[in-house]
Amino acid sequence: ASGALSRDAFLSTNYRFLVSDAAPSLARLRADPDAALDWEDVAAADVSVDASEKVACPVCLEEPLLGEEGDERRRRDGEGMMAPQLTPCGHLYCFTCLMRMLAHAAGTGGAAKCAVCQAVVRTDALRCVRARAAARGDAKAKARYVLVKRRRGSAIALPPEWPVDDASGFPRVGAHPDGFGTDGSLCCPFSKVTLCSAPASDATERALRDVIGGRDPGEAAVAEMCLQALHARDEAWMRRRAVAIASRENPSVMAALTLVGGGGVEGAEAVLRAQQGAPLAAQPAEVAPKVPRSRSLDIAAPTFVPGQSQAVAKVVAQAQFYYAYQLEDGRPRFLHP
């Protein structure tokens, strides 16, 4: 149990995640920032890479290239990690290196294990990952903070102008006018979880197709295996999302999907077929609505009057939102009014 807890803490501390907008665990994640993610609902991740620390594939020792510029450099020069993948134990590999490990293990009748921690590795449990440069504070430089607000009962603190998912309160991919990719990331910098309605695997697929179209037939064959595994993984993720949407008002389906021994996606689909008499269709990806760049606060911050401590206490007790200032790059450093 202690190993699982430390793994979850490691993932939570070092990564931000794209998560299915239908994930059953969103209510728990909203209330508890330390709650563990259901890995099956994770679509992709991004990781902050500090220039002072060496992060590399344990097999070939290639390092991840940062952001979209890194993707282009990989395509142009062939440098850096090939289609980086994140294992559930929190380690980064080239997709092709992992596929060779898995093929070798299958040939010997064993299970592939992480070269760092010896955890079992499976293709269906891998997730695409984007590396971004870590923000480094300068003791002599001025720090820029932005106002963030948190709803009572929620652990999510975001700038007030950022639109969120109405049901869960988490930010969504594509909802903010400026996007989330200014630092090369996939996710909102102020939240561990960003919601999505489709797997974020386009960059990985492009990288693999570049190798398949290259001159090395051996590398092309491995990349083709990776691409097949990627497509199977994306299809399984979309099936789970479709079942999760159907389970929102169906306790029997929710129990089959989430409870131990319920059968997971297959069990939930069996329940739905029995209830409906038809196979479950995959739910289409939703496009998050764009909002105007200028958006005013929907609630005014409490006004504090010096010398009126009882009045202040009453206002705070009745407030639906709490306000603070956080570093504009999303690092967890706060100033409280």
Q: Which residues of 165-179 are buried (b: 16+ CB within 10 A; e: fewer)?
A: beebbbbbbbbbeee
**20, containing H or E segment:** strand 15-20
DSSP assignment, residue 245?
H
The confidence score (pLDDT) of residue 180 equals 58
Radius of gyration of the chain (CA): 22
**How buried is residue 133: exposed, middle or buried, by Cβ count under 10 Å (0-12/13-18/19+)?**
middle
* Average pLDDT, 10 consecutive residues per value, the chain (337 residues): 63 87 89 85 86 82 73 62 91 93 88 89 91 70 85 85 82 66 70 89 90 88 94 94 87 80 81 73 52 35 48 60 84 78
φ, ψ of residue 106 in degrees (nearest 5): -65, -35
Q: What is the pTM of this model?
A: 0.78
The confidence score (pLDDT) of residue 165 equals 83
What are 143's two structure tokens?
């720090």
- Any idea which residue has 């001025």 for tokens? 142
DSSP string, 249-265: T-HHHHHHHHSTTS-HH
Q: Are 132 and 46 in contact (CB under 8 A)?
A: yes
Q: What is the pLDDT of residues 134-176, one digit of tens each?
A: 766 666 778 888 899 888 888 888 888 777 887 888 988 866 5
Cα separations in angstroms, 128 against 38, 90, 96, 120, 234:
16, 12, 13, 18, 11
In sequence order, the β-bridge partners of residue 61 are none
202-212 vs 95-108: helix crossing angle, rounded to 10: 70
DSSP assignment, residue 220?
H
95-108 vs 217-246: helix crossing angle, rounded to 10: 90
Cα separations in angstroms, 45 against 3, 37, 166, 199, 310:
21, 12, 23, 11, 45
